[in-house]
Structure 1
Amino acid sequence: MLESKPGDLPKKKSLSGVLESGGDDGKVPTTIKIVAGLYFLQKIKTKWRRFKMTTKRTSRNFHGLNNNLKEADEQALESALKELTSGIEKLDQESISAMQQRLDVKIKPTRSLGVLEDIGQQLAGIFRTSQPKIEGKAVLLMGGDHGVVTEGVSAAPQEVTAQMFYSYLEGGAGINVLAEYGGAKVIATDIGIAAPLDPPELMVNRVKNGTNNIAEGPAMTRQEALLALLTGAQIAAKTVDSGVNLLATGEVGIGNTTPSAALVSVFTGHSVEEVTGRGTGVSDEALKHKQDVIKRAIEVNQPDPSDPIDTLSKIGGLEIAALTGAILEAAYQHIPIILDGIISSAAALTAAQLAPISARYMISSHNSEEQGHRLALKQLGLQPRLDFHMRLGEGTGAALMFPMVEAALKIADEMATFESAGVTTGDF
């Protein structure tokens, strides 16, 4: 029996080598030419998609505005929002189909990995490639206070907002722990905290010192709502430019479940009782009072659900507006964004009212204890993926989805196929 040593084996030519010098007889077979043509065409298409994506990220002056958004007037802000929403594109169906084809040949029954396969297809459509990669992750945590706390709708005092904000900066809060576990950074931004922060540079993005009391009148002006929204969008854009391509939403703001419930009620048509939860843990009596306050806010302000900015400015919050902008910018940039609880979902509803296709870029995370959360997700066409009885906020539920999202791509990239593993396919 003859044995061959590794050095005795004939070397195989690469595809490019065959094209350059021909086969063993010096000629390039027609089949090889066709395959090579298709191969290089696919590479060109992939590079073109990535080029378009990169161009979209960097070759613009933030939707027609300069870097200092606070210098823009209301008309300029409206124009920037219009450019942002009109630039959001549908997911790429070709990439979705190609991803499903990749998943269907893995050694498993068809669709047996359920939601993981759904996420894989969604990411393919968002990134516009059948081989999406996660390059960096971040939680965008927006902070804002609410004048409605004077109505006694929260069990915690307003000063807790600023105190917790410092905790995020120091890295000791729940979201810091879970984000680090998921390999993500936390970007905390003061959009509308009421108390002064030290150093003052922390307040550079602050639109105003908390909202007005929505039970007495509008939370903010239309221009302030637009400014907060576009500030959130700008923060998302800068985060993406830094190399992040998977975002999650987080927030802090004592009293913010009250405006969130108001927004969910107006945008979904559900009653205040159906969408209002206990927030920081109020009693039955306090819950009834909270519902009455929300009803009064809607009655006093008469928000127009067909005009999302009108609704946001009248019964919303500054951090909710900023999250709305972050969600829209993520969609504009072809970036997936993970939603957290009721506050994030109120922002998501607002974003979807402004640009319905933006909902396709959203990934739901957990089922919050806030009862309006599931109704908001249903309106968005989403289902909660985790049910851990959480109601902390901050983005903690969203952070738990980072490993799940990456697991979906791990399956596509690393799981064996029937052919590679030598497994008989059968009828499954």
Structure 2
Amino acid sequence: MFTISALESQLDEVIQSCLDNKTKPQGSLGKLESLAFQICRIQQTLTPELNKPQMLVFAADHGVVAEGVSLFPQNVTVQMVLNFIAGGAAINCFCRQHGIEFRVVNAGVNGVLPEDNALINASIAPGTANFAKQPAMTLAQCEQALLKGAELVADRHQRGANVIGFGEMGIGNTTSAAAIMAKLLKLPAEECSGAGTGLNKAGVEQKTKVINRSLKRLKGTKLTPQQVLAELGGFEIAMMCGAMLKAAELKMVVLVDGFIASSAALVASKMEPYFLQYAVFCHKSKEQGHKKMLKAMGVDALLDLDMRLGEGSGVAVAYPLLVSAINFINEMASFESAGVDNV
């Protein structure tokens, strides 16, 4: 379905030499240097650019909400999508601040939404089934979601974008993300399940029980990553996964938000191992499983601000760091050009 190439390494030494010869001690810009290196490597150039940055926030509802896994009722999903359309959410504020083009994608919201330029209607169905009792979606629905996500990214790429961020909205989706994590990484549900929208201890215990029931339902079955996604995912997670894979296939810089977006990236990395070379993980969520998920993928996040909002908020807040990374490699003097001694 997707073909993601390993990044070419011919320029690696040249990129590193360029970074090392800027007027600073080697490595003194820390993660900004690693970020600049990664962007140069993705774009195969010493003069990287960030063109027409995009933000896609995928929204969908989850049948597992019936199990009492969320502090908020399901109708908050559609209410928040309306808030996105009106421009009143945190992600809207941050995208406006940094000049990021924003769209919200209806991947499977259980509610009526208006036609609006800020909304892309790509609904697979009005929410998934309750995965504690049955597969969240059919394999055909999962494939449809993956392909639709890819289609949306291809459209953004055709319009000139080479950097794209991903966020989500969906009451119950931390339960889905934690279940995916537990199944793919073979971890106990207790290590993956967290407070989500603000559950107390009893709420987290209930969520954990529900995830364990779903894992018990799948016990002994050998599933592909895509089958795990169909069994436990949400339409927004599946569509986001396809979008991420297509962005990497097109050699775009892929910006990943927090816990739920990272679960989509985890599936993507299991489907196409080279995917991670294109992915920038923007912030470490306060959701307790995220740290272990990032570690399992062998990646680190740019920011750790105790955020757990979702919506792509971590992507938008981290985006200026990408701008700084390309600016210093494009504009900072070398020791030679500045006439500064290099020890």
Relative to the length of structure 1, the TM-score reads: 0.78
**Cα 1:416/1:346, change in 2 over 3 Å:** same
Report whether the alignment pairs 1:133 with 2:49. Answer: yes
Post-superposition Cα deviations, 1:376-403, rounded to whole Å, max 9, x if no partner, equal 1112211122111101100001111211
Check if 1:164 corresponds to 2:80. yes
Match runs of 1:131-210 below 5 Å? 131-199=47-115, 204-210=121-127
Name the CA distance, whole Å, in 2 between partners of 1:306 and 1:286. Answer: 29
In the alignment, is the contact (CA less than 8 A) between 2:104 and 2:120 conserved in 1?
A: no
Q: 1:140 to 1:203 in 2, by over 3 A?
A: closer
Letter in 2 for 1:397: G
Residues 1:318 and 2:235 aligned together: yes
Q: Deviations over 1:124-172 (max 9, x none)?
A: 1111222211111011110110001011100011111011111111211
Equivalent residue in structure 2 for 1:244, among 161, 168, 171? 161
Q: Which residue of 2 aligns with 1:21?
A: none
1:200 Cα shift?
9.4
| C-alpha distance in 2 between matches for 1:166 and 1:281 | 22
2:311 to 376, 394, 409: 394
Partner of 1:330: 247
Q: Sequence identity of aligned pairs in percent?
A: 38
CA distance 1:369–1:305, shift in 2 (3 Å): farther
Instruction: For 2:120 and 2:25, locate their aligned partners in 1 and report how far apart those are by CA, in whole Å.
Output: 53
- In structure 1, the residue matched to 2:324 is 407
> Could you say which residue in structure 1 is the equivalent of 2:176?
259
Within the candidate set 199, 208, 223, 1:291 is matched to 208
Shift in alpha-carbon separation, 1:304–1:231, aligned structure 2, 3 A: farther
User: Which residue is equivalent to 2:22?
Assistant: 106
Which runs of 4 or more aligned residues in structure 1 lie more than 3 Å from their structure 2 counterparts after TM superposition?
A: 199-204, 301-306
Aligned to 2:136: 219
Partner of residue 97, structure 1: 13
Distance in 1, matches of 2:341 and 2:87, equals 50
Give the SS at the match of 1:94.
coil
Query: 2:284 is matched with which residue?
Result: 367
- Equivalent residue for 1:88? 4
* CA–CA distance in structure 2, aligned partners of residues 421 and 325 of structure 1: 46
Partner amino acid for 1:194? N
Tell me which residue corresponds to 1:124: 40
Q: Look up the equivalent residue of 1:89 and give its one-letter code.
A: S
Q: Is the 8 A contact 2:294 2:300 kept in 1?
A: yes
Structure 2: give runs of 5+ residues left out of the alignment: none
SS in 1 for 2:4: coil
Decide whether aligned partners of structure 1 residues 284 and 211 sit closer, same or farther in structure 2, where only a CA change above 3 A counts: same
CA–CA separation in structure 1 for the residues paired with 2:269 and 2:208:
25
Tell me how far apart the structure 2 counterparts of residues 135 and 293 of structure 1 sit (CA, whole Å).
43
Distance 2:209 2:189 in 1: 8
Q: Report the Cα distance in structure 1 between the residues aligned to 2:241 and 2:216, rounded to whole angstroms.
A: 24
Deviation at 1:95, TM superposition (A): 2.8
Instruction: Give the superposition deviation at 1:120.
Output: 1.0
What is the aligned counterpart of 2:271 among 325, 338, 354? Answer: 354
The answer to whether the 8 A contact 1:303-1:311 is kept is no
Write the distance in 2 (CA, Å) between the matches of 1:228 and 1:126.
26
SS at match of 1:248: strand
Structure 1: runs of 5+ lacking an equivalent:
1-80
Contact 1:251/1:319 (8 A) holds in 2: yes
> Retained in 2: the 8 A contact 1:218–1:301?
no
Is contact 2:176–2:233 with CA below 8 Å preserved after alignment?
yes
Change (3 A) 1:377 1:305: farther
Q: Residue 98 of structure 1: SS of its match in structure 2?
A: helix
Structure 1 residue matching 2:46: 3-state secondary structure: coil
Q: Secondary structure at the match of 1:188?
A: strand
**Contact 1:143/1:193 (CA < 8 Å) preserved in 2?**
yes
In structure 2, what residue type is equivalent to 1:125? Answer: R
In structure 1, distance between residues paired with 2:41 and 2:222: 30
2:193 is the alignment partner of 1:276: yes
Structure 2 distance, partners of 1:200, 1:340, is 24
Matches within 5 A, 1:19-98: 81=1, 84=2, 87-98=3-14
Q: Shift in Å at residue 228 of structure 1?
A: 0.6
Using CA pairs under 8 Å that are at least 6 residues apart, name the structure with larger relative contact order, 1 or 2: 2
Which stretch of structure 1 is more off in the superposition, 336-345 or 90-99?
90-99
**Matching residue's letter, 2:106:** D
TM-score, length-scaled by structure 2: 0.96
Task: Number of aligned residue pairs: give it.
Answer: 342
Whether contact under 8 Å (1:154, 1:282) holds in the other structure is yes
Question: What is the identity, as a one-letter code, of the residue corresponding to 1:398?
Answer: V
- Residue 342 of structure 1 is matched in structure 2 by 259
**Contact persistence 2:48–2:330 (CA under 8 A):** no
Deviation at 1:306, TM superposition (A): 4.8
Task: Check whether the contact 1:137–1:245 (CA below 8 A) recurs between aligned residues.
Answer: yes
1-structure distance, mates of 2:121, 2:330: 42
